[in-house]
Homo-oligomer: A and B are copies of this chain.
Amino acid sequence: MAAVGLTFVWRLLRSGPRPGLCGAGGREPGAAPRRAIGHGRVAVELDSSAGVAVMKMENLPVNSLSLDFLTEFLISLEKLENDRGCRGVILTSGAPKIFSAGLDIMEMYGKSAEHYAEFWKAVQEMWLRLYQSNMVTIAAINGSSPAGGCLMAMSCDYRIMAENPKYSIGLNETQLGIVAPFWFKDTLVNTIGNRATERSLELGLLYSPPEAHKIGLVDQLVPEEKIQSTAAAVMSQWLAIPDHARQITKSMMRKPTVDRLLAHRESDIQNFVSFITKDSIQKSLQMYMEMLKQRRG
């Protein structure tokens, strides 16, 4: 899964203006957390007067979804969820050029089955919490968003994307020889419909902002410098709706999809563990990381 993120990262690093970045999925060494709360991987700013928080992912360089990041993300989200003063969350990225590169490959290589299971459970939990949040959730997609990053964006109530032609979004798992889990697929079907999902998943398509907008994968495109102000403006429209009615309606729409994962949560974990512990998969992950090291070295 993380391979997805990594391929992506690698292309980004090669072409990008930021040499010398360290481990994929890790933090930039020595980079001090900005206004961030917690361990600095998720910076939360709550505007109490508006009742709106901005959650800025800052797991540099590419916001890969490591176990530590997911844990911090879940704690931050839970805090806001329980804060009566917070009715809406804008999810965005503090990393340049990328929203999130998806699952962290480092969590999938050379670890124990117990670790893999714990990691996968955290990925599930991220989706379950975000997709069902009682708050209004708006994704301000200010960078590329492959694989697990796309899942995060799709789990929000509304998606605004910067119309930068260098950015792309999509579930590109098959391009790397892996398969998106059924609940990634369900979320995509709920967003863009069955036929577009079929083609999108079988080809592992990454869409440019205009393409993503055309098929409904994102709801709105804006110039990059306007993404945060647009997100705030859209948020206020959503907050004009009484919370209780909106929450019940959201649950009515999303619960059947959530229930499918809940009914198969353990087998989904087992599937992941037995896939990732295969010799062939571990080997290809190893080669992958060595290639990455050499390219960067």
Contact = CB atoms under 8 A, between A and B. Distances in A.
A173 B178 CA distance: 40
B190 A245 contact: no
Contacts of A179: 245, 248-249, 252
B241 A203 contact: yes
- Work out how many copies of this chain go into the complex: 3
A238 interface: yes
A238 B195 contact: no
A93 interface: no
Contacts of A203: 237-238, 241, 246
B249 A180 contact: yes
Interface string A194-220: 110111011110000000000010010
Contacts of A175: 241
A255 to B, nearest CB: 11
Given A178-B245, A245-B179, A253 B157 contact: no
A246 B174 contact: yes
A209 to B, nearest CB: 17
Interface in A161-203: 173-180, 182, 185, 189-195, 197-199, 201-203
A121 interface: no
A295 interface: no
A97 interface: no
A194 B193 contact: yes
A244 interface: yes
A129 interface: no
A250 B238 CA distance: 36
B202 A249 contact: yes
A201 B249 contact: yes
A30 interface: no
Nearest to A254: B198
B245 A158 contact: no
A242 B177 contact: yes
Contacts of A190: 194-195, 198
Contact of A199 (B158, B174, B182, B195): B158
Contacts of A216: 195
B202 A241 contact: yes
Q: Which 4 A-B pairs have the closest CB atoms?
A: A177-B242, A174-B245, A179-B248, A198-B253
Interface of A: 157-158, 173-180, 182, 185, 189-195, 197-199, 201-204, 216, 219, 237-238, 241-242, 244-246, 248-250, 252-254
Given A157-B198, A195-B216, 12 more contacts: A157-B202, A174-B241, A174-B242, A174-B249, A175-B241, A182-B252, A185-B253, A198-B253, A202-B250, A203-B237, A204-B241, A204-B245
